[in-house]
């Protein structure tokens, strides 16, 4: 990873934040409240975004040439939170990275048509390129200097790991930067080279890497999530696993929960309740 000092300097600590939630926070939160109508949340099968594999908000996709920080602070995302409050990563600040949904994802994703990105018209999505990886490396080095006791990156607010090379880049970063911790989800199916590399990354960095696999039904293999499209009320658990506590009001955000990356919970599937658009349509 090369340090591009000029670009880091450009990212003054007053920060230009890529994804703005202020002012729209309540409306956005309401827009993504869990609900049970998968049909209403799905794009029509003939929607171009489904056919070509892209976001329905193409004007939000940015290249690495664009000015702005790539990793955005969790304080800008009410679902994440600013700093971990519990568990082994307590005290670490949270950042997140947003890629383009569908363009970086397997077409086998069970939520291809109902992707939660369909509601995120404000999110700034980064196009993956060699330059983006270079700039991300710069920022990780800068974050290491800023947070010598560790920091967390959520991979990814939108999107997935687009290639084996991209997974290899993150493995290298975890090896070079013990301060770096990552958590997130991938829809790549069992046995795919990307899924296998992610499993190896979790195994190689058991304190730093917690990438869970999104499956239609939990299989008992560990590191799993699934999405249900039915009402679960205030239940802590359903047959598929443990409901994400931030979705049923038992905690406020990932920073106050930490289940997804707690080493004692890797065998417990996390269950997300479907959320997204409430009325079917062809989209933008």
What does the longest C-alpha to C-alpha distance in the chain come to? 52
| Min CB(144)–ligand SF4 separation in Å | 23
Sign of CA dihedral 54, 56, 58, 62: negative
Residue placing its CB nearer to ligand SF4 in the complex, 81 or 137: 81
Distance of CA 158 to the CA centre of its chain: 5
Which of 94, 97, 270, 273: binder of ligand SF4 (CB under 6 A)?
A: 270
| Min CB(253)–ligand SF4 separation in Å | 6
Position 71 contacts ligand SF4 (CB under 6 A): no
Terminal-to-terminal C-alpha distance of the chain: 38
Task: Spell out where the chain has E strands.
Answer: 61-62, 72-73, 94-98, 125-126, 151-158, 180-186, 209-214, 224-228, 237-238, 241-243, 270-273
With both helix axes pointing from N to C terminus, report the angle between 164-176 and 193-204 in degrees, rounded to the nearest 10: 10
Residue placing its CB nearer to ligand SF4 in the complex, 7 or 121: 121
Residue 232 CA to residue 239 CA, distance in Å, equals 11
Part of the chain binding ligand SF4 (CB under 6 A), chosen from 2-10, 190-198, 255-263, 276-284: 255-263
Which of 117, 150, 269, 274: binder of ligand SF4 (CB under 6 A)?
A: 117
Cβ count near 36 (within 10 Å):
14
Contact, 22 vs 78, CB < 8 A?
A: no
Which of 57, 142, 205, 259: binder of ligand SF4 (CB under 6 A)?
A: 259
Position 244 contacts ligand SF4 (CB under 6 A): yes
Position 258 contacts ligand SF4 (CB under 6 A): yes
Number of residues that bind ligand SF4 (CB under 6 A): 21
Part of the chain binding ligand SF4 (CB under 6 A), chosen from 6-14, 28-36, 137-145, 154-162: 154-162
Contact, 159 vs 112, CB < 8 A?
A: no
**What is the token pair recorded at 22?**
């202020």
Position 92 contacts ligand SF4 (CB under 6 A): no
Which of 42, 76, 101, 141: binder of ligand SF4 (CB under 6 A)?
A: 101
Position 115 contacts ligand SF4 (CB under 6 A): yes
Interacting residues with ligand SF4 (CB under 6 A): 101-102, 105, 109, 111-112, 115, 117, 158-160, 187, 244-246, 254, 257-260, 270
């Amino acid at each position: 990873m090369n340090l591009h000092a000029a670009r880091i300097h450009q990212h003054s600590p007053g920060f230009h934040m890529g994804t703005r939630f202020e002012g729209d926070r309540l409306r956005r939160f309401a827009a993504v409240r869990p609900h049970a109508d998968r049909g209403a949340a799905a794009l029509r099968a003939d929607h171009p975004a489904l056919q070509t594999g892209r976001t329905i908000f193409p004007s939000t996709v940015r290249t690495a040439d664009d000015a702005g920080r790539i990793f955005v602070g969790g304080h800008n995302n009410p679902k994440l939170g600013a700093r971990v409050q519990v568990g082994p990563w307590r005290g670490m600040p949270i950042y997140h990275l947003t890629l383009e949904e569908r363009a970086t994802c397997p077409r086998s994703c069970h939520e291809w048509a109902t992707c939660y990105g369909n509601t995120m018209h404000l999110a700034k999505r980064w196009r993956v390129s060699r330059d983006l990886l270079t700039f991300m490396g710069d920022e990780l080095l800068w974050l290491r200097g800023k947070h010598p006791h560790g920091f967390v990156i959520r991979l990814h607010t939108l999107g997935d790991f687009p290639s084996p090379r991209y997974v290899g880049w993150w493995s290298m970063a975890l090896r070079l930067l013990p301060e770096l911790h990552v958590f997130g989800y991938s829809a790549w199916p069992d046995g795919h080279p990307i899924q296998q590399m992610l499993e190896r990354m979790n195994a190689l960095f058991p304190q730093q890497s917690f990438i869970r696999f999104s499956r239609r039904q939990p299989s008992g293999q560990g590191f799993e999530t699934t999405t249900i499209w039915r009402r679960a009320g205030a239940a802590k658990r359903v047959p598929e696993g443990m409901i994400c506590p931030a979705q049923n009001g038992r905690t406020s955000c990932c920073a106050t929960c930490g289940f997804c990356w707690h080493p004692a919970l890797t065998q417990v599937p996390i269950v997300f309740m479907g959320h997204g658009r409430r009325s079917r349509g062809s989209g933008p």
